[in-house]
Structure 1
Amino acid sequence: MAMRLTRNLLPALLLGACLGGTPLLAAEPASGLSGGEQAGYLAELKRLYLTQNERQALLAHSNDLLRTYALRAAYQVGQAQRQDLLYQLRVDSPGELLVREQIGDPQSGDVAVHNRRISLFGVDPFIRYDCPPSGISCVFYHPADGSPLLTIVRDHQGAAELAKALSFLIRNLQKG
């Protein structure tokens, strides 16, 4: 009886998920904003960071979010190799974003730094990310090839805000 009921409800659940369900993999975080909402969001960031330049405000906001939601060794209780994972974004040249990744070992004091240049012309500006329920982190994916780009502590609201800011920043940088 329960099996038959489940079998009958499954198509309805799948249809509901396709039409209005929340995806596990977030994409297009800012696409739901109308023109007025986008302008309000950007105006608020410019006011918050005391600048009239949208790009500077978006870059400062993205870097603040990356600092706030950094995956620190203190969050990694019970893991064998705990590390601090910090990121910083910088505009390098027109249409390019430089991502600085710093991996620190709190026990030994060793620090490794990796720089990654991302060309943004021709890529989808919507940043995708995933926050697995069983993990302690959210992973953001490279807009061109889908490879992991950033990792932050698992916080759905923080991840959504960072994806929104990064998507706006990419669109801004694609203008040249």
Structure 2
Amino acid sequence: MQLGLTRRLSGLLLLLSLGGAAPVAVAAEAQLGGDEQARYLAELKRLYLTQDERKALLAHSNTLLDTYALRAAYQVGQAQRSDLRYQLSVPAPGELLIRQEVRAEKGMDLTVSNQRLSVFGLDPYIRYECPATGIVCVLQNPADGSPWLRVLRDHQGAAELAKAISFLIRNMQKS
């Protein structure tokens, strides 16, 4: 019996090690159903002390973007190291504004750009990839699938961020 369990465990470890070498592309869609959604939103409203789902989702998304921001300190060995930060806002109904700040490691150079995303007609499920090599996870633009947000390579962090932004987009599509 112990030998059979050892073989199963060895096989599982082999599968996990082989699977870890390939890029991981995931969508948040498996996590957006019924009761789980209600629990998730209730927890966020409690955490951010608000009764407004959109405010809680926006605050959580921005907190995650700050937590998993790609900082110059993580980019060891790269020639052009810089801090990369994002912030989300909702300036108008159905419109998500993404502010990107890039600050050079040395010096005071700060580049700011804004991108507007109309949420109506979009698939709200944010997909992301965390390649086995490198230090970033890339969230894909729900409008066209292009690279959209780059964050520190952390599977759980990218999954939570994709989930929060997916819920935010769904919330914005309701009104």
TM-score, structure 1 length as denominator?
Answer: 0.85
Aligned ranges for residues 20-169 of structure 1 at < 5 Å? 24-27=24-27, 29-169=28-168
Q: How many residue pairs get matched? A: 156
Report the Cα offset of residue 109 of structure 1: 1.5
Aligned partner of 1:76: which letter?
A: Q
SS at 2:30's partner residue?
coil
Tell me what 2:174 maps to: 175
In 2, Cα distance between the equivalents of 1:111 and 1:150?
A: 18
* Structure 1 unmatched runs, 5+: 1-12, 18-22
Report the Cα offset of residue 108 of structure 1: 1.6
Aligned partner of 2:123: which letter?
A: D
% identity of equivalent residues: 66
In 1, Cα distance between the equivalents of 2:31 and 2:54?
A: 21
C-alpha RMSD of the superposition: 1.7
Report the Cα offset of residue 92 of structure 1: 1.4
Aligned partner of 2:153: which letter?
A: R
Aligned ranges for residues 9-28 of structure 1 at < 5 Å? 24-27=24-27
Counterpart contact for 2:126–2:140, Cα < 8 Å = yes
* Structure 2 unmatched runs, 5+: 1-14
SS at 2:59's partner residue?
helix
Report the Cα offset of residue 37 of structure 1: 1.1
Deviations 1:10-62 (A, max 9, x none): xxx9xxx9xxxxx82101x1434541111000000000000000000000000
Tell me what 1:8 maps to: none
Counterpart contact for 2:31–2:163, Cα < 8 Å = no
TM-score, structure 2 length as denominator?
Answer: 0.85
Aligned partner of 1:145: which letter?
A: D
